[in-house]
Each structure stands twice: as structure tokens, then as C-alpha cells.
Amino acid sequence: MKHTDYFNSFLTDTVNLGKVKLDTLETRADYIFKALQADPEIGSTVLSKQRQGSWAQRTIIEPQNGKEFDADIMVRLSRNPDWDDDPRRYLTAVYNAVGRHRDLGLRDHERMTRCVRIHYGTMHVDVVPYVIQDDSTKAIVNRKKNVFERTDPAAFTAWMKEQDDIADQNLRKVIRLLKFVRDHKDSWTGTRSIILTTLLGERVTKGKKLETPNAYADVPTALLTIVTDLDRWLDQQLTKPTVWDPAGTGLTFDHRWKPESFEQFKDRMKVYAEQIDDAYWEEDPDDSVAKWQLVFGDGFVAPVPAAPPKFGTGSSAGGATTTSRSGRAG
């Protein structure tokens, strides 16, 4: 059974990052950007910012207990031709600027390969500096290799929206659900979010929708369709596949994927595909819920009934409605 109401409640109450944390991210990102613009050394070169990664793609989820939640922002800097042969200077400049602004309330900050990571109490923000090259492409910095790398996060986000539209706005929800399974059940932990997002997004096709019009009609059906198609695709991959950037940069993501991590992902996805199929087609309501809980844990429960309307709100006596606890959502 689908238990669509269970899925909606599970996403809202357990999986999705809460509004307070999202607002905190927005506030922190604004403070960081304004501090960089006000910096006496690089402020005049700080031009704009934009969200990147799961925040921009709306696939960000609640972290495990005791772990930080995070988000990425890209900060555009003016290109300095004198730094063309030493790109890491852009990242170092941002790192030093953050260090000059202790008023940001940060716990500490550090240089990563492609960003400056700013730690707060229960979260961190990755600041990714980039420049516009002479050919109008965007380039970030790989500090360890000291080279520019082409990037186009806006194109990736546009691709994600297109795929989500094909999937009746259920692809992002499926991605969040599977990120939750990975993080909270320690499954395929070596598979980064960008790879998981790309692989799931690529399984969504207009052809599937023509073949099966209801393939993505609701969250559990979209989950079944996408995971089944991913499992079938993985069966055809005898070795770690190349995962191309769908933004069209010509870059790949699989350098972040070890062969053993791929094999673990392939094996675990086979198990989850079978469990999801079993739960979806189970006709007994209680047995179906138990089978969905094998996938998502004990937090996958019936939604809390809606509170009855207060006297005098205009509703007729006895007219209050509650969400069904049977899980019969079609």
C-alpha cells in the first residue's frame, strides 16, 4: 500500500530541514556575504552570492542527532589576472577575510579543497569563491591542485527543476527520503549527495511517463519507480560508472566515488528496491506499514489527527475532519 499520508507527514515532520534552521542558514549566509563586502582588503572585489548544492536544489534534510547541518554559498569575486597562475589565492583571500571578522559569531573556520568552511554551534556554511573567466564560464578553485575548475551550479539547479517537473514535483522528495536513509541508517555512506542526486535525477524520463502515465503520480509511486529503475541500471554497471555533470560542464563527479563505495551502494540499493516493492504492493495495511518501517525506521508512522475546530469558528458541530490513520491513500 502507498500510505501517501504517512509519507507526507514523515517528510514534513522528520526528513525536511525545519523552517527555523532554513531561516538561520539564510541569516548566516547574508551576514557572511556582508562581512566579505565590508572587508578592507577584498571587499571591493566581492560582487554577488548564490546558493549552491542541496540548499539551491531544495534537497537539504535534517541532520543526524549531534551532527551539523550545512549549506553552500558561492561568492563571486572579481577576476585578478595576476592570480591566474596561482588560483588558490582567491580561496586564501576569503579565508583571511573571514578571520578578520570575528563578529560573525563563528566557532572556527578552515580551508577545504574548494571552499572556506565556517563553523557555528550546530551548523556550518561552505563559502565557495568563484570568478568569471574570459570565455564567460564560471570557475571555482581547487586549492590542493592549485587549478581552476569549471562549474555551472545554476544549470545543475535548472536541470533538477526540469527533472522534478517531469516527476510531478516528487523527485526532490524522493532524493530527500533516500538521503535520510543513507544518513540515518548509515547506508552507502561513501556515496556523496551530488552523485546520489545525479543518479536519481537521470532515472526520471519523459519516456517512462509516456509508457506509464502514473509513474510519478505521488511520493511512494515515484519512489518505487525511480529506485526500481536505478536498481536495474546499476545491474548493468559491472564497474564504477562515470557520472557526468548534467549541467553540461564536461566534468564528472565519480572522482569522489571509490570503487568499494560504488559496490556498497549497488548492493544496498538492490536491498532497498526489493523492500520498497514489497511494502508498496503489500495489501494488508499494518503489514505494509511494518514493511515501510524496514526502509525508513520506526519514525514512519501515521500522521497526527488534525485538531477539531474551536467552538465559534463557523464549523458545524461534529464537522471536524481528521487524517485517516489507516494509510489508505489509494
Residue 105 backbone phi and psi in degrees, to 5: 75, 15
**CATH fold of 17-151:** Beta Polymerase; domain 2 (3.30.460)
- Is the per-residue pLDDT at 308 higher than 90? no
Q: Compute the distance between CA of residue 67 and CA of residue 69 in angstroms, rounded to an integer.
A: 7
Confidence (pTM): 0.89
pLDDT at 323: 34
pLDDT tens, residue by residue, 85-144: 999 999 999 999 999 987 788 789 999 999 999 999 889 999 999 999 999 999 999 999
Closest CA to 150 of 162, 165, 167, 135: 135
- Is the per-residue pLDDT at 313 higher than 60? no
pLDDT at 324: 34
Cα–Cα distance list, 29 to 22, 48, 53, 180, 321 (Å): 11, 12, 14, 24, 41
pLDDT at 312: 55
Q: Using alpha carbons only, give the angle 20, 299, 195 rounded to the nearest 5 degrees.
A: 70
Each domain of the chain, given as residue ranges in start order, spans 17-151, 155-296
Residue 118 backbone phi and psi in degrees, to 5: -110, 115
Q: Residue 304 — very low, low, confident or very high, per pLDDT cuts 50/70/90?
A: confident
Strands 46-52 and 108-111, sheet pairing: unpaired
Enter the C-alpha cell of residue 65: 542527532
From the number of C-beta atoms within 10 Å of its C-beta (0-12, 13-18, 19+), residue 250 rates as: exposed
pLDDT at 66: 74
Q: What is the mean pLDDT of the chain?
A: 91
* DSSP symbol at 61: B
pLDDT at 70: 87
